[in-house]
A = this chain, B = another copy of it.
Amino acid sequence: MSLDHAILGFLSEKPITGYDLKTRCFDETASHFWTADQAQVYRTLERLENRKFVRPRLERQHSRPDRKVYSATPAGISELHRWITSGGPAPPLRDPFLIRLRFAEGVSDDELLGLLGERRQEMQARLESLRTQTARPLPADAQLSAILERLTLDAAIAHARSSIDWLDDCTETLLSRREPDSFSRSGDSRPLPPLGEKGGQER
Protein backbone atom coordinates (compact mmCIF):
# COMPACT_ATOMS: atom_id res chain seq x y z
CA MET A 1 0.00 0.00 0.00
CA SER A 2 2.88 2.32 0.58
CA LEU A 3 3.98 2.43 -3.05
CA ASP A 4 0.54 3.80 -3.93
CA HIS A 5 1.11 6.75 -1.67
CA ALA A 6 4.70 7.28 -2.67
CA ILE A 7 3.53 7.60 -6.26
CA LEU A 8 0.70 9.92 -5.21
CA GLY A 9 3.31 11.96 -3.37
CA PHE A 10 5.46 12.42 -6.42
CA LEU A 11 2.46 13.16 -8.63
CA SER A 12 1.19 15.74 -6.14
CA GLU A 13 4.41 17.65 -6.78
CA LYS A 14 4.33 17.52 -10.55
CA PRO A 15 3.06 15.34 -13.44
CA ILE A 16 5.38 12.39 -14.21
CA THR A 17 5.43 9.42 -16.58
CA GLY A 18 5.60 5.82 -15.44
CA TYR A 19 9.05 5.52 -16.93
CA ASP A 20 10.34 8.58 -15.00
CA LEU A 21 8.72 7.43 -11.76
CA LYS A 22 10.84 4.31 -12.04
CA THR A 23 14.07 5.82 -13.33
CA ARG A 24 14.11 9.30 -11.81
CA CYS A 25 12.24 8.70 -8.56
CA PHE A 26 12.60 5.14 -7.33
CA ASP A 27 16.03 4.58 -8.86
CA GLU A 28 17.42 7.98 -7.96
CA THR A 29 15.91 10.67 -5.74
CA ALA A 30 13.94 8.37 -3.45
CA SER A 31 16.03 5.21 -3.68
CA HIS A 32 17.43 5.80 -0.20
CA PHE A 33 14.04 5.26 1.35
CA TRP A 34 11.90 3.36 -1.14
CA THR A 35 12.45 1.26 -4.26
CA ALA A 36 10.08 -0.20 -6.82
CA ASP A 37 10.55 -2.13 -10.01
CA GLN A 38 9.07 -1.27 -13.40
CA ALA A 39 6.33 -3.89 -13.38
CA GLN A 40 5.20 -2.75 -9.97
CA VAL A 41 5.11 0.93 -10.91
CA TYR A 42 2.95 0.38 -14.00
CA ARG A 43 0.57 -1.92 -12.16
CA THR A 44 0.25 0.53 -9.29
CA LEU A 45 -0.43 3.39 -11.71
CA GLU A 46 -3.22 1.33 -13.28
CA ARG A 47 -4.73 0.60 -9.89
CA LEU A 48 -4.55 4.29 -8.88
CA GLU A 49 -6.17 5.25 -12.18
CA ASN A 50 -8.98 2.77 -11.59
CA ARG A 51 -9.57 4.35 -8.19
CA LYS A 52 -9.59 7.84 -9.78
CA PHE A 53 -6.60 8.92 -7.72
CA VAL A 54 -4.50 9.68 -10.80
CA ARG A 55 -5.25 10.70 -14.37
CA PRO A 56 -3.06 10.03 -17.40
CA ARG A 57 -2.60 12.37 -20.37
CA LEU A 58 -1.17 10.93 -23.55
CA GLU A 59 1.71 12.99 -24.85
CA ARG A 60 2.76 12.56 -28.49
CA GLN A 61 6.48 12.67 -29.08
CA HIS A 62 8.13 12.78 -32.45
CA SER A 63 11.64 11.63 -31.61
CA ARG A 64 10.65 9.19 -28.87
CA PRO A 65 7.81 6.78 -28.30
CA ASP A 66 4.56 8.39 -27.13
CA ARG A 67 4.17 8.53 -23.38
CA LYS A 68 1.56 8.83 -20.62
CA VAL A 69 2.04 11.66 -18.17
CA TYR A 70 0.20 11.10 -14.90
CA SER A 71 -1.16 13.69 -12.46
CA ALA A 72 -2.73 13.28 -9.05
CA THR A 73 -6.42 14.07 -8.89
CA PRO A 74 -7.98 16.06 -6.01
CA ALA A 75 -9.29 12.73 -4.66
CA GLY A 76 -5.77 11.34 -4.87
CA ILE A 77 -4.28 14.27 -3.01
CA SER A 78 -6.94 13.90 -0.34
CA GLU A 79 -6.18 10.18 0.00
CA LEU A 80 -2.46 10.95 0.28
CA HIS A 81 -3.12 13.43 3.09
CA ARG A 82 -5.37 10.92 4.88
CA TRP A 83 -2.70 8.25 4.64
CA ILE A 84 0.12 10.51 5.78
CA THR A 85 -1.70 11.65 8.90
CA SER A 86 -2.96 8.16 9.79
CA GLY A 87 0.49 7.06 10.96
CA GLY A 88 1.31 3.39 11.48
CA PRO A 89 3.75 1.08 13.19
CA ALA A 90 7.43 0.81 12.36
CA PRO A 91 8.16 -2.29 10.31
CA PRO A 92 9.89 -5.05 12.27
CA LEU A 93 13.62 -5.38 11.80
CA ARG A 94 14.15 -7.94 9.07
CA ASP A 95 17.57 -8.55 7.62
CA PRO A 96 18.72 -12.01 6.51
CA PHE A 97 22.22 -11.05 7.65
CA LEU A 98 21.06 -11.23 11.28
CA ILE A 99 19.84 -14.79 10.73
CA ARG A 100 23.21 -15.65 9.22
CA LEU A 101 25.03 -14.15 12.18
CA ARG A 102 22.80 -15.74 14.79
CA PHE A 103 23.36 -19.24 13.44
CA ALA A 104 27.00 -18.83 12.43
CA GLU A 105 28.37 -21.05 15.17
CA GLY A 106 29.49 -23.71 12.69
CA VAL A 107 31.13 -21.19 10.40
CA SER A 108 34.86 -20.50 10.66
CA ASP A 109 35.99 -17.21 12.17
CA ASP A 110 37.58 -16.20 8.89
CA GLU A 111 34.40 -16.81 6.93
CA LEU A 112 32.34 -14.88 9.46
CA LEU A 113 34.81 -11.99 9.51
CA GLY A 114 34.64 -12.03 5.72
CA LEU A 115 30.84 -11.70 5.78
CA LEU A 116 31.09 -8.82 8.24
CA GLY A 117 33.64 -7.15 6.00
CA GLU A 118 31.50 -7.55 2.89
CA ARG A 119 28.48 -6.08 4.55
CA ARG A 120 30.57 -3.25 5.98
CA GLN A 121 31.90 -2.39 2.53
CA GLU A 122 28.39 -2.32 1.14
CA MET A 123 27.15 -0.02 3.89
CA GLN A 124 30.24 2.18 3.51
CA ALA A 125 29.48 2.57 -0.18
CA ARG A 126 25.91 3.50 0.62
CA LEU A 127 27.10 6.02 3.18
CA GLU A 128 29.49 7.63 0.72
CA SER A 129 26.80 7.93 -1.91
CA LEU A 130 24.45 9.49 0.62
CA ARG A 131 27.22 11.83 1.72
CA THR A 132 27.68 13.17 -1.79
CA GLN A 133 23.95 13.89 -1.93
CA THR A 134 24.12 15.93 1.26
CA ALA A 135 27.50 17.62 0.77
CA ARG A 136 25.87 20.99 0.08
CA PRO A 137 24.16 22.32 3.23
CA LEU A 138 20.69 23.73 2.89
CA PRO A 139 20.36 27.50 3.27
CA ALA A 140 18.60 28.65 6.42
CA ASP A 141 15.63 29.81 4.40
CA ALA A 142 15.21 26.51 2.50
CA GLN A 143 11.76 25.42 1.43
CA LEU A 144 9.99 22.89 3.63
CA SER A 145 10.04 20.33 0.80
CA ALA A 146 13.83 20.52 0.59
CA ILE A 147 14.10 20.18 4.36
CA LEU A 148 11.84 17.13 4.38
CA GLU A 149 13.84 15.52 1.59
CA ARG A 150 17.05 16.22 3.51
CA LEU A 151 15.54 14.59 6.60
CA THR A 152 14.94 11.37 4.64
CA LEU A 153 18.56 11.41 3.52
CA ASP A 154 19.59 11.91 7.13
CA ALA A 155 17.55 8.84 8.08
CA ALA A 156 19.41 6.75 5.52
CA ILE A 157 22.74 8.17 6.67
CA ALA A 158 21.95 7.43 10.30
CA HIS A 159 20.93 3.89 9.37
CA ALA A 160 24.13 3.28 7.41
CA ARG A 161 26.33 4.72 10.11
CA SER A 162 24.75 2.76 12.91
CA SER A 163 25.09 -0.36 10.79
CA ILE A 164 28.79 0.27 10.26
CA ASP A 165 29.38 0.93 13.95
CA TRP A 166 27.58 -2.25 14.84
CA LEU A 167 29.52 -4.27 12.27
CA ASP A 168 32.77 -2.91 13.71
CA ASP A 169 31.65 -3.91 17.20
CA CYS A 170 30.90 -7.39 15.92
CA THR A 171 34.32 -7.67 14.34
CA GLU A 172 36.05 -6.45 17.48
CA THR A 173 34.07 -8.87 19.60
CA LEU A 174 35.00 -11.83 17.43
CA LEU A 175 38.66 -10.81 17.19
CA SER A 176 38.89 -10.33 20.94
CA ARG A 177 37.58 -13.84 21.44
CA ARG A 178 40.25 -15.17 19.15
CA GLU A 179 43.11 -13.23 20.73
CA PRO A 180 42.17 -12.21 24.26
CA ASP A 181 44.40 -9.61 25.88
CA SER A 182 46.86 -10.80 28.52
CA PHE A 183 44.54 -9.78 31.33
CA SER A 184 41.86 -12.14 30.14
CA ARG A 185 44.44 -14.84 29.74
CA SER A 186 44.76 -14.76 33.49
CA GLY A 187 41.44 -16.55 33.57
CA ASP A 188 39.20 -14.14 35.40
CA SER A 189 35.54 -13.68 34.40
CA ARG A 190 35.73 -10.01 33.56
CA PRO A 191 32.59 -9.13 31.63
CA LEU A 192 32.87 -7.72 28.13
CA PRO A 193 31.67 -4.14 27.75
CA PRO A 194 28.12 -3.95 26.38
CA LEU A 195 28.23 -3.63 22.60
CA GLY A 196 26.28 -0.99 20.77
CA GLU A 197 26.80 1.57 23.50
CA LYS A 198 29.88 3.15 21.94
CA GLY A 199 29.65 6.60 20.45
CA GLY A 200 29.61 6.79 16.65
CA GLN A 201 32.80 7.72 14.89
CA GLU A 202 33.33 9.65 11.67
CA ARG A 203 33.91 7.41 8.66
Contacts and interface: CB of A to CB of B under 8 A. Distances in A.
A139 B151 CA distance: 40
Nearest to A134: B194
A50 B140 CA distance: 62
B90 A103 contact: no
Given A102-B148, A118-B87, A173-B147, A139 B191 contact: yes
Classify chain A: how many residues form its interface, as a range: 35 or more
Nearest to A142: B192
A177 B34 CA distance: 26
A158 B91 CA distance: 16
Contacts of A147: 173-174, 177
A126 B93 CA distance: 11
A107 interface: yes
Interface in A139-170: 139-142, 144-145, 147-152, 154-159, 161-163, 165-166, 169-170
A148 to B, nearest CB: 6
Interface in A117-153: 118-119, 122-123, 126, 134, 137-142, 144-145, 147-152
Contact of A140 (B157, B158, B166, B184): B184
